[in-house]
A and B are shown apart, each in its own frame.
With several copies, the nearest count.
Chain A
Amino acid sequence: MKAVVTVTPKKSVLDPQGAAVAQALAHHGLENIGKVRIGKSIEIELPAGTIDEARLHQLCRDFLSNPVIEDYTFEIVA
């Protein structure tokens, strides 16, 4: 099985990386660009059945994201 966790900066938190990329994209012809937010995409390969949703939530909170400044979502891909 494979879990794909997406971690994104919280809405109210400054995302300097996103802002810099937005500015660069604007210079590259995307003048009307809105917000750009850059997060992480984490792919975890595991033997099938190793992990359930509750445990994955816990790992996301404790390890894979920083709950102070980030939100996360995940998907379990068969």
Chain B
Amino acid sequence: MPDPAITPEVIAKHGITPEEYARIQQILGRDPNFTELGVFSVMWSEHCSYKNSKLELKKFPTTGPRVLVKAGEENAGVIDIGDGWAIAFKMESHNHPSAVEPFQGAATGVGGIIRDIFTMGARPVFSLNSLRFGPITDDSAEARTNRRLFAGVVAGISHYGNCIGIPTIGGEVYFDESYAGNPLVNVLNLGILRHDQIARGGAVGIGNPVFYVGAETGRDGLAGAAFASRELTEESKEDRPAVQVGDPFREKLLLEACLELLASGCVAGIQDMGAAGLTCSTCETASRGGTGVEIELDLVPKREDGMTPYEILLSESQERMLVIVKKGQEQTVRDIFEKWDLPYALVGEVKDDGMMRVRHGGQTVVEIPARQLADEAPLYAREAAEKTADFADFAEELSKILSAPSASSAVQKSLVALLADPSIASKRWVWRQYDHMVRLGAAVLPGSDAAVFHVREADKFLAASADCNAIYCRQDPREGARIAVAECCRNLACSGATPLALTDNLNFGNPHKPENFLQLREAVEGMAEACRVFDTPVTGGNVSLYNESPVAAIDPTPTVAVVGLIADPAHITTSAFKQAGDVIILLGDLVENTPAQGMGASHYLKVLHGRKAGSPPALDYDRELALHNALRALIAAGLVRSAHDCSEGGLAVAVAESCLAATPALGASISHLPSSSSGTTSPLVTLFNESQSRVVISVRPENLDATLFQLQQLGVPATRLGEVTSGDTLEISAGPETYRWPLADLHRAWADTIGTLMEG
């Protein structure tokens, strides 16, 4: 079948603008053929080129004394963790594929990010995942669809991660209308390596042979990068044949074979085939190496007959790698890949002419300057809307809600409703489907503030957390992004860890809409600023734009994940109360000193009043940093029995979670809430405000004075709240009232909600 002629329609169908086409003509000095047009279209898609976001991403800090490989240089940044050991980690999204086929979409997302990590020469050690779905609570057709997506995504992550034997040790899941029809599936993987094991993705050494290793190329996933760079529409369903099916078993073999190959010393460069497959890996390795690469498509292992050059080059079949081998050491590759029963083929050679050249059936079918293709995509500074945030109405609305005569009886039911909200409720139904214990490292199991993992080969303790409160980001993307970083670092501090570095996944709507682009810019600037404050350089990440269902754009969701180091296993701290009689202390203020009193954009408003309204709580860097340092100091001094930060749902939810996280559950009696605040402030505010920089800790009674003294020295406000009890109730006195909740009721709301919704 002859290639279609290149008409304006064909160009437009490839998502290439007339200006971009002119640029292609200029680069080539001629018209592209059909295959070359396809190659440009995927490389210049947002997914591969970041053409709409790159100018923003440059605002992130990427350097620091621990940074061994910077974000953007290679597949993932590499961070020094001491004693000659390093970690490589990055987050990646698979939102659109998961919307179309949740199980395989999520599964191949896991596979893709794992390849990025072992491409760096690192052995993958653990994964996290950050998920967003539409509401799952009612019996509507929409909720049924959301439950199907949720179940499918979790099963897909479980399938791939468990089979390959990499524990999924943490993550987050939220439910909100804005993700209906457009779920977010972001997965992080982290790997461990020695400093001298860092592998590079450059095609270096003129004349070096180029090997294709891994699964055969099929027609699946055709032009997925371009797919990810479009809005989801009804027609997207026609993209369905593009669905990729993952094979975690093959990937496990590929992982072991590649690490063995890298250890053999015969590798000059290595690159995974992710988005845009063979195309991306050939032109990127050539561009990085400052060389050219020529490959012969007839030699590529294929799953189907009769594939055209266009199909072979654009296929996104999974579990494949490109390896540039030192000349003369070809046999090593053959031996290792035969040992692992994996397909491989010598498909090309490194050239000195800077071209990506592809041959097929005795003819040259692609000849494009590699650097211009890989690294010189057009960059766009999109138009951002004016900032318009105006929350004047909100003060009035809030005072109405809080002064309603029923406010105090509302306290009783509000805590239960918040704990039963699927975004706050226990995610055990999710994480017990993930093998989080393989590799013998899960020192803190899922369910605490941060996951803690003992990396046995390096004898290091890493803590990791992923966070983003998208209601905050919707109301104020800059503040929301700052808080996401702060909250992540706070979670680490609660576990006894010091942050090392951060990775992010920027999930936004169509950047051509100025209001969406404003959100992106605000979030990036807020995040970049916070990264500087918390000293967490960015190791890489991913941008997922065009997250819009037919109805509307998603709430802006700049997910962040921070990885930290715990100096001494004795410092590992969890959120669960430990023993009756321990004293409960709040670090930080009871209520922030602003008109919104930390109630803006709160889960209380959303869950109890169906409103996403008001300005989010304000973050004060100095207070936040002082809090983290104080936590680490108290923990190192052996004073802290449990630590849990106040986030969604505020103080009451934090205390309840610390009760319920204990096995068996422990009660608490909060009897010392200062009367000044409870006098003038509604108990709803006292208990459910989401003011920042707050952590609930428990200490042994004999350590109370020493703890309070240290906190005073460190300048962190502290309030003694009450005691952990052995009883079966949570009891809180706020103002004139005392509220009592049987733990069994709270437990049912919190522990069983998601399972009951999902299992029916």
A and B touch in the complex (CB under 8 A): yes
* A78 within 8 A of partner (CB): no
CB of A62 to closest CB in B, whole Å: 11
A20 to B247, CA, bound (A): 10
Tell me if B101 and A68 are in contact (CB < 8 A): yes
B341 within 8 Å of A (CB atoms): yes
How many interface contacts (CB-CB < 8 Å) are there between A and B? 39
| A6 lies within 8 A of chain B by Cβ | no
Question: What sequence of 0s and 1s flags, for each residue 245-280 of chain B, a beta carbon within 8 Å of any chain A beta carbon?
Answer: 111011000000000000000000000000000000
Docked CA distance A12–B215 (Å): 15
Within 8 Å by CB of B104, from A20, A67, A69, lies A69
B23 within 8 A of A: no
Do A12 and B101 have beta carbons less than 8 Å apart?
no
| Cβ < 8 Å to B, chain A residues 1-49 | 9-10, 12-16, 19-20, 23
Known contacts: A66-B101, A68-B100. The answer to whether A14 contacts B220 by CB under 8 A is yes
List chain B residues, Cβ under 8 A from A20: 249
Chain A residues near B240: list those with CB within 8 A. Answer: 67-68
Name the one of B100, B104, B304, B318 contacting A12, with C-beta atoms under 8 angstroms: B304
Q: Cα distance A9–B101 when bound, in Å?
A: 14
Residue B81 at the chain A interface, CB threshold 8 Å: no
Docked Cα-Cα span, A10 to B94, in Å, equals 22
Judging by beta carbons under 8 Å apart, are B218 and A23 in contact? no
Is B59's CB within 8 Å of the partner chain A? no
CB distance from B243 to the nearest CB of A (A): 5
A13 and B250 contact, Cβ closer than 8 Å, known pairs A66-B101, A68-B100, A69-B101: no
Selected from B100, B245, B249, the residue in CB contact (under 8 A) with A13 is: B245
Asked whether any CB of chain A lies closer than 8 Å to the CB of B317, the reply is: yes
Contact A14-B304, Cβ < 8 Å, known A66-B101, A68-B100: no
B244 at the interface (CB under 8 A from A): yes
Chain A residue with the shortest CB-CB distance to B245: A14
Q: Considering the chains assembled together, what is the distance between the CA atoms of A67 and B215 in angstroms?
A: 24
- Residues of B210-254 whose CB lies within 8 A of A: 215, 218-220, 240-241, 243-247, 249-250
Residue numbers in B under 8 Å from A14 (CB-CB): 215, 218, 220, 244-245, 247, 303, 317-318
Q: A13-B220, A23-B341 are in contact. Are A68 and B243 (CB under 8 A)?
A: yes
The reply to whether A15 and B245 form a contact with Cβ atoms under 8 Å apart is yes
Tell me the nearest residue of chain A to B317, going by C-beta: A14
**B250 / chain A contacts, CB cutoff of 8 Å:** 16
A16 to B219, CA, bound (A): 15
Nearest-CB distance from B320 to chain A (Å)? 12
With A12-B220, A14-B220 in contact, is A69–B245 under 8 Å at CB? yes
How far, in Å, is B123 (CB) from chain A's closest CB? 23
Q: Is the CB of B245 within 8 A of A12?
A: no
> How far apart sit A27 and B398, CA to CA, in the bound complex (Å)?
43
Kindly list chain B residues whose C-beta atoms are within 8 Å of the C-beta of A66: 101
Interface size of B as a range: 20 to 34
Contact in complex: B317, A12 (CB < 8 Å): no
Contacts of B249 in A (CB 8 A): 16, 20
Mask for A43-73, Cβ within 8 A of B = 1, else 0? 0000000000000000000000011110000
Instruction: List chain B residues, Cβ under 8 A from A67.
Output: 240
Q: Which residue of A lies closest to B760 (CB)?
A: A27
Closest to A24 in B: B760
Quick check: A12 and B341 within 8 Å, CB to CB? no
Closest CB in chain B relative to A71 CB, distance in Å: 12
Give, as a whole number of angstroms, the nearest-CB distance from A28 to chain B: 11
B341 & A13 in contact (Cβ 8 Å cutoff): no
Return the CB mask of B279-305 against A: 1 if under 8 Å, else 0.
000000000000000000000000110
Q: Which of B218, B243, B318 has the most CB of A within 10 A?
A: B243
B220, B245, B318 — most chain A CB neighbours (10 Å): B245
Q: From B222, which residue of chain A is reached at the shortest CB distance? A: A12
- Measured CB to CB, the nearest residue on chain A to B104 is A69
| CB within 8 Å for A12 and B218 given contacts A23-B341, A68-B101, A68-B240 | yes
A15 to B317, CA, bound (A): 12
Would you give the shortest CB distance from B757 to chain A, in whole angstroms? 15
List the B residue with the shortest CB-CB distance to A27: B760
CA distance A23 to B247 in the complex (A): 15
Chain B 197-221, CB within 8 Å of chain A: the 1/0 string? Answer: 0000000000000000001001110
10 smallest beta-carbon distances between A and B, as pairs: A16-B247, A14-B245, A68-B101, A12-B219, A68-B240, A68-B243, A13-B245, A69-B243, A14-B220, A14-B218
27 CB contacts below 8 A, A to B, read: A9-B245, A10-B241, A12-B218, A12-B220, A12-B304, A13-B220, A14-B220, A14-B244, A14-B245, A14-B303, A15-B245, A16-B245, A16-B246, A16-B247, A16-B249, A16-B250, A19-B247, A20-B249, A23-B341, A67-B240, A68-B100, A68-B101, A68-B240, A68-B243, A69-B101, A69-B104, A69-B243
